[in-house]
Amino acid sequence: MSKFIFVTGGVVSSLGKGISGSSIAKLLQLRGFKVNMIKCDPYINVDPGTLSPYQHGEVFVTADGAEADLDLGTYERFIDVPMTKRNTNTAGLVYQAVIERERRGEYNGVTVQVIPHVTNEIKQRFIPFENDFDITIIEIGGTVGDIESLPFLEAARQFRTEKGRQNVMTVHATLLPYIASADELKTKPTQHSVNKLREIGIEPDVLICRTEHPISQSMKNKLSLFCSVEPEAVIEARDVPSIYQLPEKFEEQGLTDLIIKRLDLKPKTKNDGSWFKFINKATSLKKQITVAIAGKYAELPDAYKSVAESLRLAGMSNQVAVKVKYVNTQKDDMKVALKDVAAVVVPGGFGKRGISGKIEAIKYAREHKLPFLGICLGMQCCVIETARNLAKLQADSIEFDPSTDNPVITMMEEQKQVKNLGGTMRLGNYEATIKKGTLAYKLYKTTTIFERHRHRYEYNTQYVPLLEKHGLIVSAWHKGVLPEIVERHDHPYFIAGQFHPEFASRPQKPHPLFDGLIKAAKKFKKVK
Ligand code: GLN
C-alpha cells in the first residue's frame, strides 16, 4: 500500500512549502523509500506557461513537455526523480478535464458539481504513482483559507477517509512572526490557520514552523496544546544559508522517524549521513566567484531560479561558492556590470525588451574572453551578435523584427500554423547529435543527448555557413536540420544551446554546460 503526505500552507504564501516537502521527500529517500511528488496549484490557468514571470517566477519544463510551477524544479533537484505531466495539476487543468467530459456527455445527465465531480477528478490526480512509489508527497499550493484552494483541500479530506488514516498524513507549513517590541514569537496566526484547516475536516499531523528565531520547548508545548499536534511534531524551520541544509535540520528534530512511525512504514536502509556530509562541505566553501545572469528580470531572481541553482550546484561540485549577480539588460551598462564577474549566462526569455543589452553582454564576453553560456534566447542572441558585429549584417530574429532583411532566427512552418499560445511551443526533450572534436563533445563526452526545449524560433540554417566563417560553429544538430548548440573555438569557453540545461542540474550531478562554465570561470579569475 502506497502512503501519501499532503503539504499545506498557512498564514502567508512563500513559506517554502516546496522546499519543506522536498526535504521530507529526500529524508524518506535516504531511508530507502521510493518517493515521488505532486504539485497542485489552485489557479485557473491550465498551466503557468502563459503567465508573466512577474506573476509566477520561472516556468519549469519537464522532460515530457509540461510547463510547470518552479517547485517542480526544487522537487527534481532534491529527489532526482524526473517530473512529468502527471506531477503537476492546476484548478484550470482539473476544470478543463471535467468540462470536456461533460461536453462528451459522460456524466449521464447528472448535474456536474464541485463535490463529487471536481473532487473525484482531483483525487484521481493524487494517485498516478501509487503502484510504483512507496510514498507520494502532494503539495497544495496557496494558503489555507483561500477560496480557490478549497476543492483541493476537500479532495485531500475525502482521500484520507478513503485510503485510511494510517496511509495519509498532513504536514502544515506555517509562520511564527517575531514581534521585536515584545521580543516574542507569536503563535496566534498559526492557531488560526490550523483552525481553518480543521473547519474543513483536516487535522495536521506535523507543523513546520518558519521562524527567524529558535522555538523554545514552552512555545512548542503551547502550539501542541492549541493545534492538537504532539509537541515532537512541532518542527522548527529556521532560515538556512542553503536550502539543501534543511533536510538535516529536520532529521535532527526527529521528523523522519515521526513520519515513519505515523505512516507505519519500515525503513529499508539506514541514512548513512553521506548526503548531509556532501551538502555541509559544499555549502561551507571559502573560495567564491561571482557569475552574472544577464536578463530583463534582474530584480526578480525567481524568474531565473533554475539557472541560479544550476550555477550554485556546479560550484558545489567544483569546490567554489558561486555568488550570482543579476544584471539588468535593459538598464545596466554591460561594460561596467560585467567587469568584475568570472562568467556570464544569458538566459532564456521572450520579447524584444532588454535584447540589445543581451547582445552587448555577449559581445563583451566574446571580446574579453569571459566564459559565456547562452540559453535558448541567449543562444539566439549569440547568433544575432555574430551576424551583426562580425558578419556585418542587418540581422534580427523575426520575433523582434518580422520584416528584417536577415532573419537569422526564424520560425518553422509548423509554428506558423499555431493559433493558441498555451502549450504549443517546441516543448520538452528533443534529441541532439553532437559533433566529435567540439567543446560540446568534450563537455558531454557523448554524441547523443536529450535536452529540454521551450521555444518557437530557431537558428535559420541558411546563415550557418556564413556565421561559421566568423567563428560561430554549430556543434550539435537535431536530426541534421535544427541547430542545437553553437560555440567558438577562439575563446576559452563560449557555448550556447537552443534548450534549457538549467532544468537538469542536481546536487552531485551538475549539468555539463554549467560544470564547464564554472571550471572556466575558476580559471578566468584567480579565485580569492
Ligand atoms: N523567445 C524565444 C523563442 O520562443 C526563446 C524562448 C526561450 O528562451 N525559452 O524561440
Domains and CATH numbers, the chain: 3-278 (3.40.50.300), 286-524 (3.40.50.880)
Contact between 431 and 444 under an 8 Å Cβ cutoff? The reply is: no
Asked about 455 being catalytic, the answer comes back as no
Q: Using CA atoms, how far apart are residues 297 and 336, in angstroms rounded to an integer? A: 18
Strand ordering across the sheet containing 457-459 = 395-397, 406-411, 457-459
Q: Which three cell numbers stand for residue 111?
A: 448535474
Q: Which three cell numbers stand for residue 251?
A: 532529521
pTM as predicted: 0.94
**Residue 493 dihedral angles phi and psi, to the nearest 5°:** -160, 95
Report the nearest atom of ligand 1 relative to the CA of 348. 8
Residue among 376, 453, 478, 511 flagged as catalytic: 376
Q: Which of 52, 353, 380, 384 to mutate to test the pocket of ligand 1 (most atoms within 8 A of CB)?
A: 380
Asked about 500 being catalytic, the answer comes back as yes
Helix ranges, 318-411 (H): 334-337, 355-367, 377-389
Q: Using CA atoms, how far apart are residues 47 and 498, in angstroms rounded to an integer? A: 22
Q: Which of 410, 412, 456, 459 to mutate to test the pocket of ligand 1 (most atoms within 8 A of CB)?
A: 456
Ligand 1: which residues within 6 Å by Cβ? 348-350, 376-377, 399, 454-457
- Rg (C-alpha) for the chain, rounded Å, is 25
User: Which residue's CA lies nearest to atom 5 of ligand 1?
Assistant: 377
User: Bridge-partner residues for 93, per DSSP?
Assistant: none
> Which pLDDT tens digits describe the chain residue by residue (528 residues)?
899 999 999 878 778 899 999 999 999 999 999 999 999 999 999 988 888 888 889 999 999 999 999 999 999 999 999 999 999 999 999 999 999 999 999 999 999 999 999 999 999 999 999 999 999 999 999 999 899 999 999 999 999 999 999 999 999 999 999 988 888 888 899 999 999 999 999 999 999 999 999 999 999 999 999 999 999 999 999 989 899 999 999 999 999 999 999 999 999 999 999 999 999 999 999 999 999 999 999 888 899 999 999 999 999 999 999 999 999 999 999 999 999 999 999 999 999 999 999 999 999 999 999 999 999 999 999 999 999 999 999 999 999 999 999 999 999 777 777 777 777 888 999 999 999 999 999 999 999 999 999 999 999 999 999 999 999 999 999 999 999 999 999 999 999 999 999 999 999 999 999 999 999 999 985 443
Contact between 174 and 12 under an 8 Å Cβ cutoff? The reply is: no
Taking the centre of ligand 1 as the mean of its atom positions, its distance from the CA of residue 4, in whole angstroms, is: 37
Contact between 185 and 177 under an 8 Å Cβ cutoff? The reply is: yes
User: Which residue's CA lies nearest to atom 8 of ligand 1?
Assistant: 348
Report the nearest atom of ligand 1 relative to the CA of 376. 8
Q: Which three cell numbers stand for residue 119?
A: 473532487
